Chain A
Amino acid sequence: MSDATRSHKAKKFLERLPKKLSRQIVGSLVGCVHCGMCTQSCHYMLSNPEDPTFAPAHKADQLRKIFKRHIDWTGRVFPWWVSAKSVFTDSELEDLKDIAFGKCTNCRRCTFNCPMGVDFASANRTLRGLLVHVGVMPEGVAVVSKDQWEIGNQMGVLKEDYIETLEWMSDELSGELGDAGARIPIDVKNAAVVYSINPREVKYDPRSISDAAKIFWAARENWCMPSECWDMTNFGLFSGDDDLGGAAGRRLFEKVMELKGRKLVISECGHGYRSTRCEAQNWAGQSFPVDMESSVITMLRYIKEGRIKVDKAKNKESYTFHDSCNNARSCGLTEEPRELLNLVAPDFREMHPNRAENYCCTGGGGAMSMSEYTPRRLKSAKIKAEQLKATGATVVVTSCHNCVDGLSDLIKHYKLDMKVTQLVNLVAEALVIPAKVAAPAAGKVLALAGRTIMVVDDEPDALTFFSALLADHGARTIPVSDPNEVLKAARKEKPDLITLDISMPGKDGGEVLCELRKNPETEAIKVCVITGRPELRKLIYDRTVRPPEGYLDKPVDEAKLLTNVRKILELAHEDVPVES
């Protein structure tokens, strides 16, 4: 290969290289002595000891060789001596993609354990950024990046859907608390707190928004959420695209400044907190006068200042805490979450190792968006699964939405009997609500009364669980285990909602959805996909028919199912107690 035959993409990759090199990256590229300490730190390596290509030093070597060949004098003079190597073909760029995106979550555990101070994760992020610059990236990274660039949030949540969710959460909150004023304020000028969230909360976990709203209400906080530019996550951290990182941060900061908000509070999300709090102003190349804190610190402050009262006995399970890599290793947010957890739960069991030495949830660095690497990710989660199991806890608490998904996935894969939750859920559960608005204990008007819901799932346990749960809340349920019978049953029963599994023998959920949407008698029926295999999501969303109204990943607990079913059916209230 020669310079003359180098592909256009490879040329552009190399042209960009000097612009991506900071002193920190150069130090990391020249500082490695290949001592091997990093191999004992990496969860990929610990779970795949037979495969040295997972070793952090090996992974960083792929960029290091190119750096030596084109930048460092040693490689330009003695390339054979320092293993310097260039890049010539698109195929070589694809190989680099597999390493940069598929074999590292940028968790920085190796960085913390390197005696030479080599920041492998930052070098890997640099490599990702170079590849993204020339359009070489996993499809999932492209999808999420484009959504954040153009829609303004990582999950492509449109403004009308976001506002509708906030209004629905407000209706629910005022109903639950018996206070018409208990609502989510939007775009309030001069608020003491502007609350920013992860789009996952709107799309898959609206309860975390209503739980936060309940806490702000109980603290009598002057707060609001922005009508737009509300996403505090930042895919630029994962993709290595500093331009995206800067743009996303700038939008959020400028919105807070436009509202004259006194403090930006960032909901529980590791990479969102790190990006917003620590990195975005560097990427944007500009300082923004915005005071900000993690919602963990806000909640802790409310308890310490006596603004909210909590009863830890309300959280009855045994809890362990998983430190998000970005919170713990990059932001030092390790003690506040433990202090808060101890205030709202009586049975806390420390995980080992912990804090900055904790293992990655294995879903970080954007790994959850790259379905092609799912088997590799789950295999590499073995060490994490063993660590979780050893705690003996029934619930793992984390302050990161990414970790919630990563941990949920590995818990299912390794069949651990554990649930995942966040501190906001535990604080909301432990809240002591003033007596005048406490709900009376009496009979109930059931939330789903008068509704017909068809449950479609080939697994008998899941079918029984979902049917019984929905029936307990008043729904008439129609269980269907054979996907070939769904259309016929739907035409006959005309349910208000169908919960639909994707992976079923004979006919997948995507085909069933198509049948329903194409039949005039069933096209308007609302559908909520419930699947244990998120990688099959494309079977649903790649179709030309209208997408489902809801989507849930298994395992699904009662609160999550009911919240989403009520959202889809536009039912404002939970089961309402009535006086006898």
Chain B
Amino acid sequence: MTEKKIKDTTLRLVRGDIAAMEVDAFVFYARPDLQLGSGFGTAITQRGGPAVKKELEKLGPVATGSAVVTAAGEMKCKRIIHAVGPRFQEEDEERKLREVMRASLKKAEEGGVKTLAFPPMGTGFYGITLDLCRKVMLDELRRHLEGPTALREVSIVVKDSREQTPFEEAFKSL
């Protein structure tokens, strides 16, 4: 595990299953229509039960760059922040990715979240490169955590060495 202290908050790089973590909230990289779909959406549907999907039906659709919060049903975490980020090389990718990071952190603060987990935002299926992802995520997290915050632990949860290695390198320069 790699970690850094930024003021009163610990920023961690963790390898594991984000949808099985016991945290106050985790961020789910969502679609504008807020349909859970497959991938981590499968995990939310199966582990959380139908409640999450029902709650989302009243909230969507939402614009790219914004986020909404739902309860987490029967999952180990308490809440899910559904963050709608850029997908498949869409225009202004970096700006939108920064916006969705800020929107997610804002929602976390509004909900009094103390422990929060992020996936590598938009990498993999949605095609954000790991280079852009780590740059934007760590920039935005550092900027946010250097200000007033209730967050005490923020985890970036990677699935494999492909994601872990570039983030580990980036943590060194934090």
Contact = CB atoms under 8 A, between A and B. Distances in A.
Contacts of A151: 38-40, 42-43
B60 to A, nearest CB: 14
Contacts of A251: 159-160
A134 interface: yes
Given A135-B87, A544-B54, A159 B17 contact: yes
A547 B44 CA distance: 13
A247 B124 contact: yes
Contact of A156 (B42, B53, B160): B42
B50 A152 contact: no
Interface in A234-268: 243-244, 246-247, 250-251, 254
A146 interface: yes
Contacts, number: 83
A449 interface: no
A488 interface: no
Contact of A546 (B43, B50, B119): B50
Contacts of B88: 9, 133-135
A152 B159 CA distance: 8
Contact of B127 (A133, A229, A544, A546): A133
Interface residues of B, number: 30
A302 interface: no
B112 interface: no
Nearest to A135: B88
Interface in B144-161: 159-161
Contacts of B17: 159
A246 to B, nearest CB: 8
B135 to A, nearest CB: 18
A167 interface: no
Interface in A157-173: 158-159, 161
A13 to B, nearest CB: 9
B47 A149 contact: no
Interface string B26-43: 000000000001111111
B37 A254 contact: no
Contact of A144 (B38, B43, B45, B87): B38
Given A147-B38, A158-B43, A544 B91 contact: no
Interface of A: 8-9, 12, 133-135, 142-147, 149-152, 156, 158-159, 161, 229, 243-244, 246-247, 250-251, 254, 544-547
